[in-house]
Each structure stands twice: as structure tokens, then as C-alpha cells.
Amino acid sequence: MLERVAPTTAAAMADHWNSRAWKFDGSASHRRDADAWRAAFKTALGEAPREVADLGCGTGACALFAGNLGHRVTAVDGSAEMLSHAKAAAAGAGLSINFIHATMDEAALPAASADIVTLRNVLWTIENPSAALSLARKVLRPGGKLLVSDGVWFRHRANDSRKIFGAHLPFYNGLTEADARHLLGNAGFGEIKSWRHLMPGDPYGAVYDDPETPIAFFILTAIAPE
């Protein structure tokens, strides 16, 4: 039995992203730097068509990158509003993606059903990141590939307006590549590779509460044990 990914924060998290969905893509790097992200996904994931599960798909950026590469994609998100943008984007791109409106804990993705799992900019929002990686491992076939990407978004975020998050999210300000490597190793993943060099410059701009510091981010893939 897996631990829950978001035992306390799931409902508040869905509300949070429901209220932000309308503006999420407006300033997103996946829009500004779409070609670079698409190329990075192509190199990191490979082109042979595979079963992909995108966990916390948001407005669908990663699901669409994977779909455009010819992969068969299932995409899960707890926020109905984020998903409605994702569905519109997939329809606009002529892609058939299996969208599931559910938290990761409730989505009930079958074990060993995916060749690739993607988790981009999701771990920082997760109460139990280790449980999210265990879930990814369960959903992956042995030898399957996990892509994890995230960054350090804030330097010191005040834990006032959203106590429910600050008190419960271990990476409320974001996470470093070293944090992610540690989590991946503990979850039993191996062959960890960085693809950061495929995204030139600082695509995310500056840390939200420190305009002088670029947002440090990482793109890693790791392989589930056989």
C-alpha cells in the first residue's frame, strides 16, 4: 500500500490552481520557449511511440509535447480549471489525450502501465514527494523512464497567506537538482541523467522574491528498477 501523495493539501491545492488556471500559460516558459522544451522532451524521452503518464499535467504542456512526439498520453490533474485549458489545447493541436480529473492519489492508474512518467513543476506542490515518486515507480513498467523537472522558485516565501501549504509542503520554495537526485535515489530509481543543457539560458527568469537571482531548475530522467 503506497503512502498518500497529498493527504492534507489536495483540496486546497486544486482550489489554488483552479483560481490561477486562466493566467498560467500567459507567462509560461513552455509558451515562450516552446521549441526548446519540445526539443528537450524529444531528446530526453526518445521518439519511438510509448505509453506516457503525465502526473499533475496542469494546462497540458508536457502532455502535448509528448503527444506531438507520437506518444500515447494519459494526463492527470486535480484541478478542473487547469484541465479545461489542457483539453482545449489538445483539441486545438488535434491530439487525442486521455485526461483524468483526479488527484494522483485517486486516479488509480494501473500498475506497470506506462513506459514514461513525467512530473514537471509538480514536486514542489506535493506534500509527500517521496510518495509521488513511489507512485511513478508503481505506474512505470520495470525499466521505464521518469522525467522530473522542477526549480527553486522562491528564496524566502512567507508562510502566512496559505498556511495550509507552507506548513505541509517540504519544498514550498522549490527544490534543487540535489534534492531531486536524493528523492529519486531513495525511491529506487537509477541511471539518473541531467538534460538541463538542452534549455539554453534562464528560461524561467528570476526568483519571484529576488529579481537578481535566476531561477535554478533541472531536468532529470531516471530509470525504474527491473
Q: Is residue 10 involved in binding ligand SAM (CB under 6 A)?
A: yes
Using alpha carbons only, give the angle 64, 194, 187 rounded to the nearest 5 degrees: 85
Q: Is residue 219 involved in binding ligand SAM (CB under 6 A)?
A: no
Helix, strand or coil, per DSSP, at residue 73: strand
Q: Is residue 126 involved in binding ligand SAM (CB under 6 A)?
A: yes
Helix, strand or coil, per DSSP, at residue 217: strand
* CA–CA separation, 125 and 6 (whole Å): 9
What residues numbered 81-120 form the site for ligand SAM, per CB under 6 A?
Answer: 82, 103-104, 120
* CA–CA separation, 53 and 25 (whole Å): 21
Using alpha carbons only, give the angle 199, 72, 126 rounded to the nearest 5 degrees: 60
Identity of the residue, 104 or 109, whose beta carbon is nearer to ligand SAM in the bound complex: 104
Q: Is residue 17 involved in binding ligand SAM (CB under 6 A)?
A: yes
Identity of the residue, 5 or 212, whose beta carbon is nearer to ligand SAM in the bound complex: 5
Q: Is residue 129 involved in binding ligand SAM (CB under 6 A)?
A: no
Q: How far is the CB of 92 from ligand SAM (least distance, A)?
A: 16
**Which residue has 502535448 as its cell numbers?**
64
Chain residues binding ligand SAM by CB under 6 A are: 5-6, 10, 13-14, 17, 30, 56-58, 61-62, 76-79, 82, 103-104, 120-122, 125-126
